[in-house]
Chains A and B, each alone.
Chain A
């Protein structure tokens, strides 16, 4: 469904993975 789009700048844990 349409929702307001979101972006985040990563530098950090994402979905259980560390960057």
Chain B
């Protein structure tokens, strides 16, 4: 499983029992999984907030508009993150 395995029409969603939560103390987005916690930087938080059923092409389009950045670069970075999260077991496609 790697970025190349992620298709633009997949619909990334947090796996069952996994939650996205904003930690007010740390002022950062966290992914809360059973027995595991991940801290996200701002960009990862923006990505994960959009993983609620939209397909990847919509997510990339939305991020490209918000950040005024090239879609190609965003798509590559997002795929890399999603693949990592799938391997960690906290994201389904």
- Set of chain A residues within 8 Å of B85, measured between Cβ atoms: 7
Question: Chain B 60-93 against A: per-residue CB contact (8 Å), 1 yes, 0 no?
Answer: 0001000101000110011011001100100000
Interface residues of A in 1-19 (CB under 8 A from B): 1-10, 14-15, 17
Contact of B44 with A by CB under 8 A: yes
Q: Can you give 27 A-B contacts (C-beta < 8 A)? A: A2-B43, A2-B63, A2-B73, A2-B74, A3-B43, A5-B40, A5-B41, A5-B43, A5-B47, A5-B77, A6-B43, A7-B31, A7-B39, A7-B41, A7-B44, A7-B81, A7-B84, A7-B85, A8-B38, A9-B36, A9-B38, A9-B88, A10-B37, A10-B38, A10-B39, A15-B26, A15-B27
Given contacts A4-B77, A6-B40, A15-B27, 17 further A-B contacts (CB under 8 A): A2-B67, A2-B77, A3-B43, A5-B40, A5-B41, A5-B46, A5-B77, A5-B78, A5-B81, A7-B38, A7-B40, A7-B41, A7-B44, A8-B38, A8-B39, A9-B88, A15-B26
